């Protein structure tokens, strides 16, 4: 591909994404479906703008999945991972085993050999980490029971890929193995080593990632951050991810698993947020590219040649996986809603199937006339995932389990609450309880169906769904309410909701939760006047109590905290005004340190936490003594 060709390709991909994704989102379909449709549109069976090289792009774009797992790892503290071990091993293990066995039995029934059937079963058992996590995250559903279970299953599948890759060569029909040793065996440096040597290499690589992440990366990143060049920090982040991916590939492990591990190790690091925000755009673009490539790779010629076969395959695969997931969800005591979410999130076959099927071809495990239709079916199953979730969301869930809204009693129809609370986690629920105890029943919007059920049993008016959806806000009475309290767990979604509300319900007064200064600045910039930093009041209470325990009078400590709160809020607003004038290309790390520095300066300039001069008799005493002379 020459230089002009590269630019043309880039132009085509970017244009397709920029046009298709906003349209898909406006239609409520989510970005993943937008990318997929964009891929179909520019693919060889519609506009045919790509020529050859679509497969190369797909290979390159798979790196987006690697980056996504790095980011996911960053958000997963080891402690949390340990807490998820039950679902990962139990739910994930059962899903992979049960699905593999079912598909293998079906394949045998359809005339496959036992070896080929096992390969097919394992391939189809996997789901698409990229599509599922992107979609669930976009809807804020990752924190729900169904979202967590989906995550656990996906994680187990990612781990299970490693033994699968090891087993595949053994499944080859004797005598059919093509000469693949040259490049077919997934190119590992260690494959020449004896078995114990390979094991040592694998353990060594994993140990290197864990120990390096623990002890070396922190100081290293510190040095890089001190250059205060944002792009160098970004380069270091990319270098880290690429390096780990290479290392893992070299010893025959999944690069996604390796970067995930590195992410988990770095989850407790102080540079977590910087790493995350630096990798985020690359991850997003590459994932988008990946989805486009999947869309473009759908072989419509094959589908048109054997429409019934392909359609049957897709339907069969999806319904078997769906049934297994639904049964497992119920077995693991998820509520019906959450089981449905799990089942409708994971019924597609994952991107790893492309790798495994190609691999199976090379190894002679499966003949091309089997893998061809399977690849098409896999791509289609991935494409319909957003549609299935949409179906679950809009058609199925409103009819079974937790309803979007409970049917109101006729007599309370007009008594719409003046307050909406978006998000009812620990932050929102405290607000809601206080308001309720004060006789102001708030209307709640939440995405966690288990929580919604509980709240409804408690008699609250709860709407189930994504609070950033304009129609849901409308149904919940946003047009008549006076206050919207945003207590969501994510700064991005908070900003999104702010924008929706300012556009559609300008009369609503917004009170928004912010997590740190950065969010607070963003919210103030977005025009929200009532901004509440998550931990501010708690810190002040701890500070005041610390003063008390040191022997300071309770009332003095109380007044000091009150004053400090006011002073801190004022400094923050000043800082926001000043920041908006400044260049934006300051690294996030540097920005936070500068903010802190300014705060300290402001503290020094105005330290009058103790200026209750009205209670100070010193001047009176002086006057009295002077007058007495």
Partner 1 sequence: MPRVLVQFAHPAFERSRVHRRLLAHLPRREGITLNDLYEEYPAFDIDVAREQALLLAHDVVVFQHPFFWYSTPPLLKQWEDLVLEHGWAYGREGRALTGKQVLHVISTGGREEAYQHEGLNRFTMRELLAPLEQTASLCGMVWAPPYVIHGTHRLSEAQIDTEAQRYGQLLIDLHEARVDLRATTRYPSLNHALAGVRVEGDR
Name residues contacting partner 1, limited to 312-371 (CB under 8 A): none
Residue of 499, 557, 555, 504 lying closest to 528 (CA atoms): 499
Nearer to partner 1, 187 or 607 (CB): 607
Residue in the block written with tokens 């963003």 = 522
Gap between the Cα atoms of 362 and 366, Å rounded: 8
Per-residue binding string, partner 1, 493-532, x by CB under 8 A, is ----------------------------------------
- Work out how close the CB of 617 gets to partner 1 at its nearest, in angstroms, rounded to a whole number: 6
Contact 95, 153 (CB under 8 A): yes
Of these, 557, 572, 575, 589, which contacts partner 1 (CB under 8 A)? Answer: 557
- Work out how close the CB of 612 gets to partner 1 at its nearest, in angstroms, rounded to a whole number: 6
Residue of 498, 488, 492 lying closest to 448 (CA atoms): 488
Nearer to partner 1, 506 or 628 (CB): 628
Name every residue whose Cβ is closer than 8 Å to that of residue 259 and which is 6 or more positions away in sequence.
Answer: 66, 67, 69, 70, 73, 241, 244, 245, 248
Question: Taking CA 153 as the corner, what is the angle to CA 147 and CA 155, rounded to the nearest 5 degrees?
Answer: 100
What are the tokens at 571? 């400094």
Residue of 447, 498, 509 lying closest to 472 (CA atoms): 447
Name every residue whose Cβ is closer than 8 Å to that of residue 496 and which is 6 or more positions away in sequence.
Answer: 468
Per-residue binding string, partner 1, 558-597, x by CB under 8 A, is x---------------------------------------
- Work out how close the CB of 545 gets to partner 1 at its nearest, in angstroms, rounded to a whole number: 11
Nearer to partner 1, 433 or 598 (CB): 433
- Work out how close the CB of 603 gets to partner 1 at its nearest, in angstroms, rounded to a whole number: 21
Q: How many helices (H) and strands (E) does the chain have?
A: 29, 6
- Work out how close the CB of 537 gets to partner 1 at its nearest, in angstroms, rounded to a whole number: 13
Nearer to partner 1, 552 or 565 (CB): 552
Of these, 499, 553, 566, 582, which contacts partner 1 (CB under 8 A)? Answer: 553
Nearer to partner 1, 215 or 555 (CB): 555
Question: Taking CA 139 as the corner, what is the angle to CA 137 and CA 140, rounded to the nearest 5 degrees?
Answer: 65
Half-sphere exposure of 273 (CA within 13 A, CB side): 12
Gap between the Cα atoms of 450 and 315, Å rounded: 30
Gap between the Cα atoms of 334 and 324, Å rounded: 14
- Work out how close the CB of 570 gets to partner 1 at its nearest, in angstroms, rounded to a whole number: 22
Nearer to partner 1, 226 or 553 (CB): 553
Name residues contacting partner 1, limited to 593-622 (CB under 8 A): 612, 615-617, 620-621
Q: How many binding residues for partner 1 (CB under 8 A)?
A: 16
Point out which span in 259-267, 337-345, 556-564, 582-590 binds partner 1 (CB under 8 A): 556-564
Point out which span in 135-143, 181-189, 237-245, 553-561 binds partner 1 (CB under 8 A): 553-561
Of these, 333, 457, 604, 625, which contacts partner 1 (CB under 8 A)? Answer: 625
Residue 533: strand pairing partners? 514
Q: Output the CA–CA distances (angstroms, integers) from residue 312 to 224, 299, 377, 379, 592, in the order listed.
A: 54, 16, 9, 14, 56
Gap between the Cα atoms of 157 and 385, Å rounded: 18
Residue of 546, 425, 542 lying closest to 486 (CA atoms): 425
Of these, 470, 480, 556, 573, which contacts partner 1 (CB under 8 A)? Answer: 556
Contact 136, 345 (CB under 8 A): yes
Nearer to partner 1, 228 or 611 (CB): 611
- Work out how close the CB of 550 gets to partner 1 at its nearest, in angstroms, rounded to a whole number: 13
Does the protein bind partner 1 through residue 555 (CB under 8 A)?
yes
Within 10 angstroms of residue 222's Cβ, the number of other Cβ atoms is 12
Point out which span in 36-44, 109-117, 475-483, 549-557 binds partner 1 (CB under 8 A): 549-557
Gap between the Cα atoms of 222 and 338, Å rounded: 42
Nearer to partner 1, 7 or 542 (CB): 542
Of these, 305, 554, 593, 596, which contacts partner 1 (CB under 8 A)? Answer: 554
- Work out how close the CB of 625 gets to partner 1 at its nearest, in angstroms, rounded to a whole number: 7
Does the protein bind partner 1 through residue 545 (CB under 8 A)?
no
Point out which span in 203-211, 311-319, 488-496, 550-558 binds partner 1 (CB under 8 A): 550-558
- Work out how close the CB of 538 gets to partner 1 at its nearest, in angstroms, rounded to a whole number: 16
What are the tokens at 211? 């120990």
Nearer to partner 1, 196 or 615 (CB): 615
Contact 44, 50 (CB under 8 A): yes
Does the protein bind partner 1 through residue 628 (CB under 8 A)?
yes
- Work out how close the CB of 556 gets to partner 1 at its nearest, in angstroms, rounded to a whole number: 6
- Work out how close the CB of 616 gets to partner 1 at its nearest, in angstroms, rounded to a whole number: 6
Nearer to partner 1, 40 or 544 (CB): 544
What are the tokens at 492? 């991005």
Does the protein bind partner 1 through residue 478 (CB under 8 A)?
no
Buried b (16+ CB within 10 A) or exposed e, 376-409: bbbbbbbbbbbebbbebbeeebeeebbbbbeeee
State the alpha helices, DSSP H only, in 392-490.
426-437, 449-457, 470-475
Nearer to partner 1, 471 or 616 (CB): 616
Nearer to partner 1, 275 or 557 (CB): 557
What are the tokens at 516? 């740190």
Nearer to partner 1, 178 or 554 (CB): 554
Gap between the Cα atoms of 44 and 300, Å rounded: 9
Burial class of residue 113 (count of CB atoms within 10 Å of its CB; 0-12, 13-18, 19+) = middle
- DSSP conformation letters of 373-392: HHHHHHHHHHHHHHHHHHHI
Nearer to partner 1, 585 or 615 (CB): 615
DSSP conformation class of 173: P
Nearer to partner 1, 4 or 620 (CB): 620
Contact 534, 515 (CB under 8 A): yes
- Work out how close the CB of 543 gets to partner 1 at its nearest, in angstroms, rounded to a whole number: 14
- Work out how close the CB of 540 gets to partner 1 at its nearest, in angstroms, rounded to a whole number: 13
- Work out how close the CB of 621 gets to partner 1 at its nearest, in angstroms, rounded to a whole number: 4
- Work out how close the CB of 610 gets to partner 1 at its nearest, in angstroms, rounded to a whole number: 9
Nearer to partner 1, 547 or 599 (CB): 547
- Work out how close the CB of 564 gets to partner 1 at its nearest, in angstroms, rounded to a whole number: 15
Judged by the rule CB under 8 A, the positions of this chain that interact with partner 1 are: 552-558, 612, 615-617, 620-621, 624-625, 628
């Amino acid at each position: 591909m020459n230089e002009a060709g590269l630019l043309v390709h880039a132009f085509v991909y970017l244009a397709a994404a920029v046009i298709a994704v906003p349209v898909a989102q406006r239609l409520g379909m989510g970005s993943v479906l937008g990318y997929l449709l964009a891929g179909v549109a520019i693919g060889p069976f519609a506009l045919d703008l790509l020529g050859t090289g679509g497969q190369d792009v797909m290979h390159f774009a798979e790196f987006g999945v690697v980056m996504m797992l790095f980011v996911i790892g960053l958000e997963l503290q080891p402690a949390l991972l340990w807490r998820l071990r039950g679902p990962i091993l139990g739910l994930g293990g059962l899903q992979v085993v049960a699905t593999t066995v079912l598909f293998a039995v079906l394949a045998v029934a359809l005339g496959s050999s036992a070896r080929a059937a096992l390969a097919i079963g394992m391939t189809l058992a996997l789901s698409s980490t990229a599509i599922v996590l992107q979609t669930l995250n976009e809807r804020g559903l990752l924190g729900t029971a169904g979202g967590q279970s989906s995550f656990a299953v996906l994680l187990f599948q990612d781990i299970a890929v490693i033994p699968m890759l090891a087993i595949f060569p053994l499944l080859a029909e004797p005598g059919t193995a093509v000469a693949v040793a040259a490049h077919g065996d997934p190119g590992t440096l260690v494959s020449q080593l004896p078995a114990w040597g390979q094991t040592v290499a694998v353990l060594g690589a994993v140990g290197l990632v864990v120990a390096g992440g623990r002890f070396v990366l922190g100081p290293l990143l510190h040095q890089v951050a001190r250059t205060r060049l944002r792009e160098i920090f970004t380069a270091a982040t990319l270098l880290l991810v690429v390096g780990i991916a290479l290392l893992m590939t070299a010893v025959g492990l999944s690069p996604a698993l390796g970067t995930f591990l590195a992410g988990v190790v770095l989850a407790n690091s102080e540079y977590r947020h910087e790493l995350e925000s630096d990798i985020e755009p690359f991850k997003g673009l590459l994932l988008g590219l990946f989805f486009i490539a999947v869309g473009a790779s759908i072989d419509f010629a094959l589908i048109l040649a054997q429409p019934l076969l392909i359609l049957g395959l897709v339907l069969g695969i999806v319904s078997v996986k769906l049934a297994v997931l639904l049964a497992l969800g119920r077995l693991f005591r998820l509520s019906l809603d959450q089981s449905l979410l799990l089942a409708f999130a994971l019924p597609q076959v994952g991107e790893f199937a492309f790798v495994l099927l190609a691999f199976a071809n090379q190894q002679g495990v499966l003949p091309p006339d089997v893998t061809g239709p399977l690849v098409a079916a896999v791509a289609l199953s991935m494409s319909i995932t957003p549609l299935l979730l949409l179906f679950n969301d809009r058609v199925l869930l409103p009819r079974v389990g937790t309803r979007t809204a409970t049917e109101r009693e006729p007599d309370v129809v007009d008594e719409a609450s003046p307050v909406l609370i978006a998000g009812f986690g620990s932050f929102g629920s405290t607000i809601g309880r206080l308001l309720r105890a004060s006789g102001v029943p708030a209307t709640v919007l939440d995405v966690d169906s288990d929580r919604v059920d509980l709240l409804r049993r408690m008699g609250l008016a709860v709407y189930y769904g994504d609070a950033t959806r304009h129609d849901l806000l409308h149904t919940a009475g946003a047009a008549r309410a006076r206050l919207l309290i945003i207590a969501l767990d994510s700064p991005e979604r908070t900003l999104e909701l702010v924008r929706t509300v300012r556009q559609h319900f300008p009369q609503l007064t917004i009170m928004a939760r912010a997590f740190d200064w950065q969010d607070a600045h963003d919210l103030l910039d977005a025009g929200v006047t009532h901004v509440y930093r998550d931990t501010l009041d708690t810190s002040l209470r701890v500070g005041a109590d610390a003063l008390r325990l040191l022997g300071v009078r309770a009332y003095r400590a109380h007044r000091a905290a009150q004053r400090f709160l006011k002073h801190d809020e004022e400094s923050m607003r000043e800082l926001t005004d000043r920041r908006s004038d400044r260049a934006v290309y300051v690294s996030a790390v540097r920005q936070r340190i500068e903010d802190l520095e300014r705060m300290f300066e402001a503290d020094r300039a105005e330290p009058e936490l103790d200026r209750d001069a009205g209670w100070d008799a010193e001047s009176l005493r002086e006057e009295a003594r002077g007058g007495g002379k």
